[in-house]
Amino acid sequence: MAEIPGTGTELDRRTVLRRAAMAGLLATPAMGLLNACASGGDEGANTDTPSGEKSDTNPLGVDPKAPLEVVIFNGGLGTKYATDVHIPSYNKLFPESKVTFSQTEEIATVIQPRVNAGDPPDMINNSGSKLMDMGALVQAGQAQDLTELFAAPSVDIAGSTVKDTLVPGTVEQGQFNGKPYALNYAFTVFGLWYNSKLFAANNWTAPKTWAEFTALLDQIKGKGILPYSYAGANASYYQYLVILTSAAKIGGPDVLKNIDNLADGAWQAPAVKQAAQAWGEIGAKYGNKAHLGLKHTEVQLQQNQDKVAIYPSGSWLENEQAKDTPAGFEYAVMPVPSVTGSDAMPQTAIYAAAGEIYFVAAKGKNPRGGMEYLRHMLSKAGAQGFTKATKVLTVVKGATDGLTISPGLTSSDTMLKAAGADYFSYRFDTWYKKLDDEARAATNELMFSGGDAQKFCDRMQKAADAVKADSSIQKFTR
- Whether domain 13-186+354-408 has CATH 3.40.50.2300: the reply is no
pLDDT, residue 48, reads 54
What pLDDT is attached to residue 451? 87
Q: Which CATH number describes the domain made up of 188-352+423-469?
A: 3.40.190.10
CA angle 132/134/140 to nearest 5° reads: 100
Domains 13-186+354-408 and 188-352+423-469 share a fold: yes
Number of neighbours of residue 323 by Cβ within 10 angstroms: 7
For residue 180, how many other CB atoms are within 10 A of its CB? Answer: 23
Q: What is the pLDDT of residue 353?
A: 86
Q: Is 133 helix (H, G, I), strand (E, B) or coil?
A: coil
C-beta separation of 430 from 398 below 8 A: no
- Bridge-partner residues for 153, per DSSP? 161
Q: What are phi and psi of 185, to 5 degrees?
A: -95, -40
Q: What is the pLDDT of residue 67?
A: 98
- Rounded to the nearest 5 percent, the helix, strand and coil shares of the chain are 45, 15, 40
Can you tell me the distance from the alpha carbon of 391 to that of 394, in angstroms, rounded to the nearest whole number?
A: 10
Cβ atoms of 243 and 312 within 8 Å: the answer is no
pLDDT per position in the chain (478 positions), as tens? 444 333 333 333 333 333 333 222 223 333 333 333 333 444 444 545 678 899 999 999 999 999 999 999 999 899 999 999 999 999 999 999 999 999 999 999 999 999 999 999 999 999 988 899 999 999 999 999 999 999 999 999 999 999 999 988 899 989 999 999 999 999 989 999 999 999 999 999 999 999 999 999 999 999 999 999 999 999 999 999 999 999 999 999 999 999 999 999 999 999 999 999 999 999 999 999 999 999 999 999 999 999 999 999 999 999 899 999 999 999 999 999 999 999 999 999 999 988 899 999 999 999 999 999 999 999 999 999 999 998 888 999 989 888 878 999 999 989 999 999 999 999 999 899 999 999 999 999 999 998 899 999 999 999 999 999 999 999 999 9
Q: Where are the domains of the chain?
A: 13-186+354-408, 188-352+423-469
**Structure pTM?**
0.77
Q: Which of 133, 73, 183 is nearest to 437 (CA)?
A: 133
Which amino acid would we find at residue 457?
Answer: C
The predicted pLDDT at position 402 comes to 82
On whether the CB atoms of residues 310 and 194 are closer than 8 A, the answer is: yes
Per-residue pLDDT at 234: 93
* CA–CA distance, 38 with 136 (Å, rounded to integer): 11
Output the pLDDT for position 7: 32
Closest by CA position to 66, among listed 51, 78, 81:
51
